[in-house]
Structure 1
Amino acid sequence: MIRRTVCAAGRALSASRRCFSGEGVPVDVPEGAAGPPHIAKEASLYVHWPYCLKRCSYCNFNKYIPKESNDHIMTTCLQRETETLLQLSQVSRITSVFFGGGTPSLAPPSTIAAVLKIISKHVNLPDDAEVTLEVNPTPAGMSKLKDYCRAGVSRFSIGVQSLQDEDLKNLGRDHSSHDALQTIEEARRLCPGRVSVDIIFGRPRQTVESWERELSELLRVCDDHVSLYQLTLERGTQLFKQVQSGRVTVPAEDVMAQMYQHARETLQQHGFLQYEVSNFAKHNSVSHHNMSYWKGRQYIGVGPGAHGRFVPLGEDGVLREARTQTLEPDVWIYEVQKRGHGTRRRIQLGYLELLEEVLVMGMRMTRGIYHKHWELFSPHVGLHEAFGASVEVQDLLQSGKLILDDRGLRCSWEGLALLDSILPALLVELERQILPRLSDGRITKTSNPH
């Protein structure tokens, strides 16, 4: 499964969204501000717009069909929750903002401007900060692109998903391939080099041959970033029920693996460097917002169902807190109006849990995890000490799927395609190395640098 990585060792860690020649050289991404990422005074910020006009057959994201427009109330509440969580997080700088959903391109441009204004009022939001908006490529979405740019958006992520009209219809999408191509063209005109295209493979009745043709067509029109997702059958969705009942069939796992490998090779031939399991960029046009997730940095989640990771105000000794906002928009609105935020769940991450997240997210990148980066979170147990003694990990190293050297820990080109089968071995070994040290006091909750 490429879109979501399910982690073993008795837990599932949410991974909320390479180009190697042999071992290869990954895309060079600046490290940013110095200092331990779990307590840094900077963070990225995610804003969730929960509404859609319809529900796609494959989607189980937190989205709702609105009964009536409440744009003004949503805008006010998004501003207020942003303000509250910024104050609780103690951050002084927001490095990137991502408006996701749902369908955030249904939100008025004035909402985007209002949220960005409240961020700038309380913390430093650099003029060149990456501000991304997910766009549904309908004529209505395209017509507002210029206004979104004026509101402060500097990057578009376009949910093309397919260039086959019949597939779009079966997936429940409300745009056509013509709509998608026009939207890409307009977005590239407004934000050249800063337009990402999302596409799904492994769709019902899709073949390797039809996928090759579609990918070639996409590469003729796309900009400098492509996000490539394998279709995942999510329980409770219409598509899941159709496949379970036998009314619809999807390609076999080996066929989807072939599609993925073909896409990687084709994108490489066209100058796209793979820098993460599902993401490819030319001219270093990586998603800096998503990179902050994969590097284990702090992020603030605003809006119904949003997730966050930061150290709250006054929480001495806390390594990091996982926060989840209330899912239902109406209830979330009530809670924000009543107490300034709609946080439904707060979980203090333990030392092992924090390292698990750093491991799972870091291994998604082609660069993997550098020694110095790991030491920021685990100053007492290095990568060699954590994983070097494992027989199973040694087998992965010997087979060439995994690389552990002076630079750090990462998957090879072949290994990255098998990440889901590699992570369980790493997680089991991490637990085996860390738990005894926690229990006998060699590592304490406060031994991580602050």
Structure 2
Amino acid sequence: MNQASLYIHFPFCMRKCFYCDFYSVESLESLEEFLKALKHEILLRRTLLTDDVLFETIYFGGGTPSLLSAAQVAELLGTLSSSFQFSDDVEITIEVNPGTVSLDWFSSVRLIGVNRVSIGIQSFDDKLLQWLTRIHSSGDGVHAYLAARGAGFENVSIDLMFGLPMQSIAQWECTLQRAVELGPEHISTYSLIVEPETQLERLVKAGKVKLLDDDADAAMYQLAIELLTSSGYEQYEISNFAKPGFRSRHNANYWNHKPYLGLGPSAHSFWKGERSWNVRSISEYICSLNKNRFPTAGAEILRETEQFEESVYLGLRQGRIDMRALASQFGIDLATQKRDLLEEWQRLGFIFSDGAVLQLTRQGFLIADELARQLI
């Protein structure tokens, strides 16, 4: 069986955060039409698949998929299970906004098969949450986490943000320590990025928001690595830390170039070497499916050079490149062609390398993206 992953984009939020560039709208007016169209897309996509495809992960992202009722999640999972084949140990994740959930909701979605939740706590500091335009408080974040535990979830991830204007390293340390005290199986830490065409970008350009400098941002990232790894979490990707056995299987499939199918407005797919993406509009999405048409906005076939570059980039983000495997797959021997560069990196303490495998050090993780640019 050929293993794959499934992503479902839920494009609704109660309030869109001013830094976010993921596609979403604030009105739930078209929710029912969207769900009907989504089920139609599931059935259409099924016609493209062969019987040897086995999905091993399902991920509900957004937007705010925790705005779905348990009954709506159950109906979607029912449509999926009748259309696709899933592994017995399928990982089913749903993203959660702490301001939208209760113990009853967690209990209900767990009973219907969801076995992993990713809670967007972002910070345990109320002033920073207000600056981020989040709808929840730090207390709501803790409550959501405890409710997930109370419902019986044994695989909980939380998202945290750093590099925020006015955020001190002491505030960041308090947030990290609080997270460790709670003890989730997985923690993702993200530096604030000014994404194009967001309200945050407009405020930065207007001089109304002053970003932290690179040194302060790097110090916060270094602190996260040190504090989390010393607390029993393994860093398995630039932004992701997990207790042993609790890495995100869904994200790992993305990073390792396994095929994935994306459903919903703006969702991306990678299938048989082709990357495609859906229209970034709920109305266009619904209209296409009402006409029994795929809601695809575009597609591209990745050239071999692009696949190689992505393999290097994604490998370094995970802290490790098997250079021997890359040479076998693409005919490019980094160990030989980049020998001087790799020796320099090793001397500077960025990597360990035995000539076959390149492994980032803690210092190397800090500049992984730059190392990737130099390597390709």
The answer, yes or no, to whether TM exceeds 0.5 is yes
> Which position in structure 2 is the counterpart of 1:112?
73
2:274 corresponds, among 308, 317, 321, to: 321
Distance in 1 (alpha carbons) for counterparts of 2:70 and 2:180: 29
Partner amino acid for 1:352?
T
Contact kept in structure 2, 1:184 and 1:222, CA below 8 Å:
no
Tell me whether 165-174 or 79-88 shows the greater mean CA deviation: 79-88
Q: Does residue 73 of the first structure (1) align with residue 26 of the second (2)?
A: no
Contact kept in structure 1, 2:91 and 2:249, CA below 8 Å:
yes
Distance in 2 (alpha carbons) for counterparts of 1:290 and 1:421: 22
Distance in 2 (alpha carbons) for counterparts of 1:372 and 1:261: 30
* Larger RCO, structure (CA 8 Å, separation 6 or more): 1
Distance in 1 (alpha carbons) for counterparts of 2:83 and 2:334: 38
- Once the 2 structures are TM-superposed, how far is the Cα of residue 142 of structure 1 from its aligned partner? 5.4
The structure where strand makes up a greater share of residues is 2
SS of corresponding position for 2:175? helix
- Once the 2 structures are TM-superposed, how far is the Cα of residue 398 of structure 1 from its aligned partner? 3.3
1:398 corresponds, among 338, 347, 357, to: 347
> Which position in structure 2 is the counterpart of 1:341?
294
Partner amino acid for 2:287?
Y
- Once the 2 structures are TM-superposed, how far is the Cα of residue 191 of structure 1 from its aligned partner? 4.3
Cα RMSD (Å) of the superposition?
2.1
2:120 corresponds, among 136, 145, 159, to: 159
Structure 2 portions without partners, runs of 5+: none
TM-score, length-scaled by structure 2: 0.93
Q: Does residue 425 of the first structure (1) align with residue 374 of the second (2)?
A: yes
Contact kept in structure 1, 2:335 and 2:356, CA below 8 Å:
no
> Which position in structure 2 is the counterpart of 1:213?
174
Question: Structure 1 residues 150, 48: CA separation in 2 closer, same or farther (over 3 Å shift)?
Answer: same
Tell me whether 169-178 or 103-112 shows the greater mean CA deviation: 103-112
Query: What are the equivalent positions in structure 2 for 1:361-400 lying under 5 Å apart?
Result: 361-366=314-319, 368-371=320-323, 373-374=325-326, 377-378=329-330, 380-385=331-336, 387-389=337-339, 391-400=340-349
- Once the 2 structures are TM-superposed, how far is the Cα of residue 208 of structure 1 from its aligned partner? 1.0
Contact kept in structure 2, 1:325 and 1:345, CA below 8 Å:
yes
- Once the 2 structures are TM-superposed, how far is the Cα of residue 376 of structure 1 from its aligned partner? 6.9
1:355 corresponds, among 305, 308, 314, to: 308
Distance in 2 (alpha carbons) for counterparts of 1:308 and 1:267: 32
Question: Structure 1 residues 392, 89: CA separation in 2 closer, same or farther (over 3 Å shift)?
Answer: farther
SS of corresponding position for 1:352? helix
Contact kept in structure 1, 2:66 and 2:100, CA below 8 Å:
no
> Which position in structure 2 is the counterpart of 1:187?
148
- Once the 2 structures are TM-superposed, how far is the Cα of residue 275 of structure 1 from its aligned partner? 0.8
Q: Does residue 101 of the first structure (1) align with residue 62 of the second (2)?
A: yes
Tell me whether 280-289 or 189-198 shows the greater mean CA deviation: 189-198
Distance in 2 (alpha carbons) for counterparts of 1:422 and 1:307: 27
- Once the 2 structures are TM-superposed, how far is the Cα of residue 340 of structure 1 from its aligned partner? 4.4
Distance in 1 (alpha carbons) for counterparts of 2:102 and 2:302: 39
Listed one character per residue, the Cα deviations across residues 142-180 of structure 1 (whole Å, up to 9, x for unaligned) are 552222212321100000011111111111100111111
1:170 corresponds, among 131, 144, 167, to: 131
- Once the 2 structures are TM-superposed, how far is the Cα of residue 193 of structure 1 from its aligned partner? 3.3
Distance in 1 (alpha carbons) for counterparts of 2:328 and 2:290: 38
Partner amino acid for 2:335?
H
- Once the 2 structures are TM-superposed, how far is the Cα of residue 67 of structure 1 from its aligned partner? 5.5
Partner amino acid for 1:82?
I
1:51 corresponds, among 12, 36, 56, to: 12
Distance in 2 (alpha carbons) for counterparts of 1:375 and 1:94: 29
Contact kept in structure 1, 2:101 and 2:144, CA below 8 Å:
no
Partner amino acid for 1:360?
Y
Distance in 1 (alpha carbons) for counterparts of 2:203 and 2:123: 19
> Which position in structure 1 is the counterpart of 2:91?
130
Question: Structure 1 residues 422, 86: CA separation in 2 closer, same or farther (over 3 Å shift)?
Answer: farther
Question: Structure 1 residues 169, 117: CA separation in 2 closer, same or farther (over 3 Å shift)?
Answer: same
Query: What are the equivalent positions in structure 2 for 1:231-250 lying under 5 Å apart?
Result: 231-250=192-211
Partner amino acid for 1:202?
G
Listed one character per residue, the Cα deviations across residues 65-119 of structure 1 (whole Å, up to 9, x for unaligned) are 2251x33322222222223224324352001010000111112323322332233
Aligned length: 375
- Once the 2 structures are TM-superposed, how far is the Cα of residue 375 of structure 1 from its aligned partner? 5.8
Tell me whether 122-131 or 142-151 shows the greater mean CA deviation: 142-151
SS of corresponding position for 1:416? helix
Contact kept in structure 2, 1:206 and 1:250, CA below 8 Å:
no
Question: Structure 1 residues 128, 198: CA separation in 2 closer, same or farther (over 3 Å shift)?
Answer: same
Question: Structure 1 residues 283, 178: CA separation in 2 closer, same or farther (over 3 Å shift)?
Answer: same
Distance in 1 (alpha carbons) for counterparts of 2:24 and 2:31: 15
TM-score, length-scaled by structure 1: 0.78
Tell me whether 208-217 or 47-56 shows the greater mean CA deviation: 208-217
Tell me whether 170-179 or 409-418 shows the greater mean CA deviation: 409-418
Listed one character per residue, the Cα deviations across residues 121-153 of structure 1 (whole Å, up to 9, x for unaligned) are 233212321000000001546552222212321
Distance in 1 (alpha carbons) for counterparts of 2:82 and 2:201: 45
Listed one character per residue, the Cα deviations across residues 266-319 of structure 1 (whole Å, up to 9, x for unaligned) are 1112111111100111132110000101111111111100111112xxxxxxxx
Question: Structure 1 residues 297, 236: CA separation in 2 closer, same or farther (over 3 Å shift)?
Answer: same
Contact kept in structure 1, 2:322 and 2:357, CA below 8 Å:
yes
SS of corresponding position for 1:167? helix
> Which position in structure 1 is the counterpart of 2:268?
307
Q: Does residue 332 of the first structure (1) align with residue 293 of the second (2)?
A: no
Contact kept in structure 2, 1:112 and 1:148, CA below 8 Å:
yes
Contact kept in structure 1, 2:107 and 2:152, CA below 8 Å:
no
Percent identity among equivalent residues? Answer: 32
Listed one character per residue, the Cα deviations across residues 375-405 of structure 1 (whole Å, up to 9, x for unaligned) are 6743x334435x434x444432332313342
